[in-house]
Structure 1
Amino acid sequence: MPAPRGFDSGRSCRPNQQDGAESDRKQHLVDQVCSGAGGLCIYKGRDMKTTHAGMKISEAEFGALIGDLVKALTSFNAPSREQQELLAVLGPMKKDIVEYP
Protein backbone atom coordinates (compact mmCIF):
# COMPACT_ATOMS: atom_id res chain seq x y z
CA MET A 1 0.00 0.00 0.00
CA PRO A 2 1.58 3.33 -0.96
CA ALA A 3 1.89 6.02 1.69
CA PRO A 4 -0.93 8.60 1.66
CA ARG A 5 -0.09 11.86 -0.06
CA GLY A 6 1.87 14.05 2.34
CA PHE A 7 3.32 11.12 4.29
CA ASP A 8 6.96 10.10 4.10
CA SER A 9 6.98 6.49 2.92
CA GLY A 10 10.67 6.19 3.81
CA ARG A 11 9.95 6.40 7.53
CA SER A 12 9.30 3.41 9.71
CA CYS A 13 5.50 3.57 9.66
CA ARG A 14 4.10 0.40 8.18
CA PRO A 15 0.60 -0.33 6.94
CA ASN A 16 -1.38 -3.28 8.24
CA GLN A 17 -1.97 -5.43 5.18
CA GLN A 18 -3.18 -8.44 7.11
CA ASP A 19 -6.88 -7.72 7.36
CA GLY A 20 -9.64 -5.49 6.03
CA ALA A 21 -9.87 -3.42 2.90
CA GLU A 22 -7.89 -0.20 2.64
CA SER A 23 -11.08 1.81 2.17
CA ASP A 24 -12.51 0.36 5.40
CA ARG A 25 -9.37 1.31 7.32
CA LYS A 26 -9.46 4.81 5.90
CA GLN A 27 -13.13 5.23 6.84
CA HIS A 28 -12.49 3.94 10.37
CA LEU A 29 -9.64 6.44 10.73
CA VAL A 30 -11.81 9.32 9.50
CA ASP A 31 -14.68 8.32 11.79
CA GLN A 32 -12.41 7.88 14.80
CA VAL A 33 -10.65 11.22 14.39
CA CYS A 34 -13.95 12.99 13.63
CA SER A 35 -15.60 11.45 16.69
CA GLY A 36 -12.60 12.10 18.94
CA ALA A 37 -12.52 15.72 17.84
CA GLY A 38 -16.17 16.20 18.81
CA GLY A 39 -17.66 15.77 15.35
CA LEU A 40 -20.88 13.99 14.50
CA CYS A 41 -19.19 10.84 13.15
CA ILE A 42 -19.59 7.54 14.97
CA TYR A 43 -16.59 5.23 15.18
CA LYS A 44 -17.72 1.64 14.73
CA GLY A 45 -14.30 -0.02 14.53
CA ARG A 46 -12.53 -2.17 17.09
CA ASP A 47 -10.74 -0.69 20.08
CA MET A 48 -7.08 0.25 19.53
CA LYS A 49 -5.67 -2.46 21.78
CA THR A 50 -7.48 -5.23 19.88
CA THR A 51 -6.77 -3.69 16.48
CA HIS A 52 -3.01 -3.40 17.03
CA ALA A 53 -2.42 -6.53 19.14
CA GLY A 54 0.45 -8.57 17.79
CA MET A 55 1.59 -5.92 15.31
CA LYS A 56 4.64 -5.16 17.45
CA ILE A 57 4.46 -1.44 16.76
CA SER A 58 7.39 0.25 18.44
CA GLU A 59 7.53 3.62 20.12
CA ALA A 60 9.75 4.78 17.24
CA GLU A 61 7.15 3.72 14.67
CA PHE A 62 4.38 5.47 16.57
CA GLY A 63 6.57 8.59 16.77
CA ALA A 64 7.22 8.36 13.02
CA LEU A 65 3.48 8.28 12.37
CA ILE A 66 2.92 11.36 14.50
CA GLY A 67 5.84 13.11 12.79
CA ASP A 68 4.47 12.28 9.35
CA LEU A 69 1.02 13.42 10.39
CA VAL A 70 2.35 16.79 11.59
CA LYS A 71 4.29 17.15 8.32
CA ALA A 72 1.15 16.45 6.29
CA LEU A 73 -0.98 18.84 8.35
CA THR A 74 1.65 21.56 8.01
CA SER A 75 1.89 21.03 4.25
CA PHE A 76 -1.87 21.62 4.03
CA ASN A 77 -1.53 24.75 6.19
CA ALA A 78 -3.58 23.32 9.06
CA PRO A 79 -3.47 25.87 11.89
CA SER A 80 -1.34 24.95 14.90
CA ARG A 81 -4.34 24.93 17.23
CA GLU A 82 -6.15 22.33 15.14
CA GLN A 83 -2.97 20.27 14.86
CA GLN A 84 -2.64 20.26 18.64
CA GLU A 85 -6.30 19.26 19.03
CA LEU A 86 -5.80 16.30 16.72
CA LEU A 87 -2.63 15.23 18.53
CA ALA A 88 -4.53 15.46 21.81
CA VAL A 89 -7.03 12.94 20.40
CA LEU A 90 -4.31 10.57 19.16
CA GLY A 91 -1.85 10.84 22.06
CA PRO A 92 -3.83 8.80 24.59
CA MET A 93 -4.08 5.94 22.08
CA LYS A 94 -0.32 5.35 22.26
CA LYS A 95 -0.63 3.07 25.30
CA ASP A 96 -2.97 0.77 23.35
CA ILE A 97 -0.98 0.81 20.09
CA VAL A 98 2.68 0.55 21.09
CA GLU A 99 3.91 -2.85 22.26
CA TYR A 100 6.74 -2.59 24.73
CA PRO A 101 9.19 -5.50 24.91
Structure 2
Amino acid sequence: MDLVCRDSKSWMEGAKIDKLTRGRDQPFYQSSHDISHFLAVPEENLLVPETQDKDAFDHLYAFFLFYGMDGAGDFIPIKQLPEKYNQLRHELPHNPQDEDDEKDA
Protein backbone atom coordinates (compact mmCIF):
# COMPACT_ATOMS: atom_id res chain seq x y z
CA MET A 1 0.00 0.00 0.00
CA ASP A 2 1.21 3.49 -0.84
CA LEU A 3 -0.32 6.49 0.91
CA VAL A 4 -0.59 8.30 -2.46
CA CYS A 5 -0.31 7.14 -6.07
CA ARG A 6 3.34 6.62 -6.96
CA ASP A 7 2.89 5.38 -10.51
CA SER A 8 4.16 7.33 -13.53
CA LYS A 9 2.33 10.37 -14.82
CA SER A 10 1.49 8.54 -18.05
CA TRP A 11 -0.02 5.63 -16.08
CA MET A 12 -2.11 8.02 -13.98
CA GLU A 13 -3.35 9.78 -17.13
CA GLY A 14 -4.26 6.45 -18.76
CA ALA A 15 -6.02 5.23 -15.62
CA LYS A 16 -7.78 8.61 -15.22
CA ILE A 17 -6.67 8.85 -11.59
CA ASP A 18 -7.27 12.60 -11.38
CA LYS A 19 -10.94 12.07 -12.35
CA LEU A 20 -11.51 9.98 -9.21
CA THR A 21 -13.28 11.69 -6.32
CA ARG A 22 -10.14 11.57 -4.16
CA GLY A 23 -7.67 11.67 -7.07
CA ARG A 24 -4.08 10.60 -6.48
CA ASP A 25 -4.06 11.70 -2.82
CA GLN A 26 -5.48 8.49 -1.37
CA PRO A 27 -4.01 5.10 -0.51
CA PHE A 28 -3.28 2.82 -3.47
CA TYR A 29 -3.17 -0.92 -2.82
CA GLN A 30 -1.19 -3.47 -4.78
CA SER A 31 -3.51 -6.18 -6.02
CA SER A 32 -2.40 -9.31 -7.82
CA HIS A 33 -4.07 -12.13 -9.65
CA ASP A 34 -0.71 -13.79 -10.25
CA ILE A 35 2.79 -13.27 -8.89
CA SER A 36 4.07 -11.59 -12.05
CA HIS A 37 1.39 -8.91 -12.42
CA PHE A 38 0.46 -6.34 -9.79
CA LEU A 39 -2.13 -3.64 -10.21
CA ALA A 40 -2.44 -0.39 -8.23
CA VAL A 41 -6.00 0.01 -6.98
CA PRO A 42 -7.20 3.30 -5.46
CA GLU A 43 -8.84 2.92 -2.07
CA GLU A 44 -12.13 4.45 -3.25
CA ASN A 45 -12.49 1.61 -5.80
CA LEU A 46 -12.22 -1.14 -3.18
CA LEU A 47 -15.38 -2.79 -1.94
CA VAL A 48 -15.83 -4.39 1.46
CA PRO A 49 -17.74 -7.67 1.29
CA GLU A 50 -20.96 -7.84 3.25
CA THR A 51 -19.59 -10.79 5.20
CA GLN A 52 -15.90 -11.37 5.73
CA ASP A 53 -14.80 -14.96 5.21
CA LYS A 54 -11.05 -15.14 5.81
CA ASP A 55 -11.13 -18.89 5.24
CA ALA A 56 -12.18 -18.27 1.63
CA PHE A 57 -8.80 -16.80 0.66
CA ASP A 58 -7.05 -19.40 -1.42
CA HIS A 59 -4.47 -18.04 -3.83
CA LEU A 60 -1.89 -20.17 -5.59
CA TYR A 61 0.90 -17.65 -4.94
CA ALA A 62 0.04 -16.58 -1.38
CA PHE A 63 3.06 -18.44 -0.01
CA PHE A 64 5.33 -16.06 -2.00
CA LEU A 65 4.06 -13.11 0.06
CA PHE A 66 2.90 -14.52 3.40
CA TYR A 67 4.15 -16.99 5.98
CA GLY A 68 0.58 -17.78 6.98
CA MET A 69 -1.92 -16.28 9.40
CA ASP A 70 -1.60 -15.25 13.02
CA GLY A 71 -4.07 -16.12 15.76
CA ALA A 72 -6.27 -13.13 14.89
CA GLY A 73 -6.56 -14.28 11.27
CA ASP A 74 -4.29 -11.58 9.84
CA PHE A 75 -1.70 -12.49 7.21
CA ILE A 76 1.95 -12.46 8.27
CA PRO A 77 4.02 -10.92 5.45
CA ILE A 78 7.35 -12.37 4.42
CA LYS A 79 10.40 -10.42 5.56
CA GLN A 80 10.92 -8.76 2.16
CA LEU A 81 7.56 -6.95 2.12
CA PRO A 82 8.22 -4.66 5.10
CA GLU A 83 11.80 -4.18 3.87
CA LYS A 84 10.62 -3.22 0.37
CA TYR A 85 8.04 -0.76 1.59
CA ASN A 86 10.15 0.41 4.56
CA GLN A 87 7.25 -0.03 6.94
CA LEU A 88 6.85 -2.49 9.74
CA ARG A 89 3.57 -4.35 10.02
CA HIS A 90 1.08 -2.40 12.07
CA GLU A 91 0.00 -4.35 15.10
CA LEU A 92 -2.97 -3.40 17.20
CA PRO A 93 -2.21 -3.82 20.89
CA HIS A 94 -4.06 -6.74 22.43
CA ASN A 95 -5.98 -5.75 25.52
CA PRO A 96 -7.74 -8.67 27.27
CA GLN A 97 -9.87 -6.09 29.13
CA ASP A 98 -11.58 -5.22 25.81
CA GLU A 99 -12.78 -8.82 25.46
CA ASP A 100 -14.15 -8.80 29.01
CA ASP A 101 -16.03 -5.54 28.30
CA GLU A 102 -17.64 -7.06 25.19
CA LYS A 103 -18.82 -10.11 27.18
CA ASP A 104 -20.41 -7.85 29.80
CA ALA A 105 -22.29 -5.75 27.21
TM-score normalized by the length of structure 1: 0.26
Structure with more relative contact order (C-alpha pairs < 8 Å, separation 6 or more): 1
| Higher relative strand content | 2
TM-score normalized by the length of structure 2: 0.25
